[in-house]
Amino acid sequence: MTKILAFTSPAKGHLYPVAPVLSELVSRGHSVTVLTIPGSEQELGPLGLTVRELPPALAMDTLNDWATTAKIPALRAALRALVARIPDEIQALRSAIIAERPDALLIDITAPGAQILAAASGLPWASWAPKLLPLPSVDTPPFGPGLTPRTDLFGRLRDNGLHWFLERRWNEVLPELNHMRQYYGLDVLDSIVDYLRMPPLTLNFTAPPFDDVRSDWPESVAQVGPGLWAPDAEPPAWLATVNRPLALVTCSTEFHDDGRIAQTAMDALAESGMYTVVTSGAIDPETLVAAPNARVERFVPHHLLLDRAAVVVSHGGMGLVQKALATGVPVCVVPSGRDHFEVARRVVGNQAGSCVAPKRLTVARLRAGIERALACRDGAARVAAGFRGATGTLHAANLLEHHFAGVETGHPARFGSLPVYESHHYPTNEVAPEIVPGEPDPVVLPPKSAPVQQERPHRER
């Protein structure tokens, strides 16, 4: 039996995809503790998982990037917010390791502090990514703007120039990240995207054809298909009274100021013949005016609605988009930031839906976008078939189980050699000590003596 400690970012969209994999490991006799969002015991307990709560400094911390809606600035803001969490993540994971004494660690890819400590701990560790991985590839445009792939000369010139431009922007946080890596005895990184190559195994919860096929990605990345799990729930009573196809309109559960999308969608669908259900998430339902054929709820489990949905209108969150497409429901995306433009590009590229630019959002444009999406059921069905053919939960559990045991899996994620781990040096007391003098100050700043990073010359890809 392996005792596994998993560390998640404070978001259910990061926890839910990996939950069935962890439950599968429990069913095989392993012990799994999840350091995650407070109040998750009711959802995870039936899966056989033990819950430790993230400390308030992390649990209450959102990326707070909602005011930045431009494509690149939004990603830069999110990246800065993730790096700012590093000291709190290190302290939280360190405390949990001392209390739990795990044999192996599983770290959310968006938790850089936890990943640093995992790499320095000497314990076997792996990572998972519930979203699209922004790893560069010769087969795709640079990650961020949601550009359509092009293989002609113009496309190559565009991609090379943009790669150079974006790498400089992403590397703004590299001194802070490298400062903490150096403190824990890890090698410095040449580029922030190298961070994504550090885990010896990464489970990526998506799959082709939704995501692009890459010929040059690290062998440590295993795409296992979407994470579609959600806690059991009963359908709301009012749903039985609806006798029309549903148009599901969703706002993010993390504040993105996307109530405008919901209101515009209700207005656009007022005479559609469909019944519009809005889940307002972080938006106060009282701020929305429901059309006669619409209903606004703070939250309804989406899996209870998708079987009856004709279309989904969304800001582009990866979780709902993949759940909709896995059910064969096309999606109209109004991207609001972060990776949403990349999600929208894949929806459109697979002819599984449409995209409406948020800065040009009007009732007429959104109505036209929804009509285009409704004509994309064949594309959504193709994506659903691809998801059904993905390796899935059992294979993901196999990879983790064999990786933590140091056993060759036959999957390319294993590099062809066995991992070597050194014993960790954490004290055996059950009380987790605070960060003491000699450990990093909980302010993520490079030391004054840190060398100034030189700008790298433009490299062809």
**Which of the pair, 253 or 19, is modelled with greater confidence?**
19
Question: 3-7, 145-149, 232-236, 416-420: lowest mean pLDDT where?
Answer: 416-420
Instruction: Name the pLDDT band for 459 (thresholds 50, 70, 90).
Output: very low
pLDDT at 65: 54
d(CA 443, CA 87): 7
Of 134, 123, 126, nearest to 21 by C-alpha is 126
pLDDT at 87: 93
Question: Is there a single domain that holds both residue 256 and residue 208?
Answer: no
pLDDT at 428: 41
207-226: average pLDDT:
95
Question: Is there a single domain that holds both residue 107 and residue 183?
Answer: yes
Last residue of a domain, one of 388, 403, 422: 388
User: Is residue 446 scored above 50 in pLDDT?
Assistant: no
Asked if 116 and 90 touch (Cβ cutoff 8 Å), the reply is yes
Establish if 442 belongs to a structural domain: no
d(CA 368, CA 374): 10
Domain hosting residue 16, numbered range: 3-225+391-414
User: Is residue 78 scored above 90 in pLDDT?
Assistant: no
Instruction: Name the pLDDT band for 458 (thresholds 50, 70, 90).
Output: very low
Question: Is there a single domain that holds both residue 33 and residue 120?
Answer: yes
Establish if 95 belongs to a structural domain: yes
- Which residues are 32's β-sheet partners? 4
Last residue of a domain, one of 376, 399, 414: 414
pLDDT at 127: 98
- The pair of structure tokens assigned to 247 is 């148009």
Share of the chain above pLDDT 70, in %: 85
d(CA 262, CA 257): 10
- The pair of structure tokens assigned to 292 is 């006669």
pLDDT at 345: 97
**Which of the pair, 321 or 75, is modelled with greater confidence?**
321
Question: Is there a single domain that holds both residue 315 and residue 397?
Answer: no
Instruction: Name the pLDDT band for 68 (thresholds 50, 70, 90).
Output: low
Question: Is there a single domain that holds both residue 216 and residue 241?
Answer: no
- Interaxial angle between packed helices 112-121 and 86-100, expressed in degrees from 0 to 180 and rounded to the nearest 10: 40
Question: Is there a single domain that holds both residue 252 and residue 342?
Answer: yes
pLDDT, the chain, mean:
87
- The pair of structure tokens assigned to 144 is 């961020």
Establish if 196 belongs to a structural domain: yes
Question: Is there a single domain that holds both residue 97 and residue 196?
Answer: yes
Establish if 49 belongs to a structural domain: yes
Residues 6+ apart with CB under 8 A from 119: 125, 184, 186, 198
pLDDT at 124: 96
User: Is residue 439 scored above 90 in pLDDT?
Assistant: no
Establish if 423 belongs to a structural domain: no
User: Is residue 427 scored above 50 in pLDDT?
Assistant: no
Instruction: Name the pLDDT band for 71 (thresholds 50, 70, 90).
Output: low
Last residue of a domain, one of 351, 373, 388: 388
Number of C-beta neighbours around residue 204 at 10 A? 23
Question: Is there a single domain that holds both residue 261 and residue 382?
Answer: yes
pLDDT at 234: 94
pLDDT at 436: 47
pLDDT at 32: 98
Question: Is there a single domain that holds both residue 399 and residue 363?
Answer: no
Establish if 366 belongs to a structural domain: yes
Number of C-beta neighbours around residue 439 at 10 A? 15
User: Is residue 336 scored above 90 in pLDDT?
Assistant: no
User: Is residue 66 scored above 60 in pLDDT?
Assistant: no
405-430: average pLDDT:
45
124-158 tens-digit pLDDT: 999 999 999 999 999 999 988 888 998 899 988 99
**Which of the pair, 132 or 66, is modelled with greater confidence?**
132
The CATH number linked to 366 is: 3.40.50.2000
pLDDT at 203: 98
pLDDT at 450: 41
User: Is residue 82 scored above 60 in pLDDT?
Assistant: yes
Question: Is there a single domain that holds both residue 277 and residue 373?
Answer: yes
User: Is residue 186 scored above 50 in pLDDT?
Assistant: yes
User: Is residue 337 scored above 90 in pLDDT?
Assistant: no
Question: Is there a single domain that holds both residue 379 and residue 406?
Answer: no
User: Is residue 413 scored above 90 in pLDDT?
Assistant: no
pLDDT at 414: 34
Question: Is there a single domain that holds both residue 146 and residue 217?
Answer: yes
User: Is residue 27 scored above 90 in pLDDT?
Assistant: yes
258-301 tens-digit pLDDT: 789 999 999 999 999 999 999 998 888 899 999 999 999 999 99
Most confident residue range from 26-35, 169-178, 257-266: 26-35
301-316 tens-digit pLDDT: 999 999 999 999 999 9
Q: How many domains does the chain have?
A: 2
Establish if 427 belongs to a structural domain: no
Instruction: Name the pLDDT band for 67 (thresholds 50, 70, 90).
Output: low
**Mind spelling out the 3-state secondary structure of 383-426?**
HHHHHHCCCHHHHHHHHHHHHHHCCCCCCHHHCCCCCCCCCCCC
Establish if 454 belongs to a structural domain: no
Asked if 106 and 8 touch (Cβ cutoff 8 Å), the reply is no
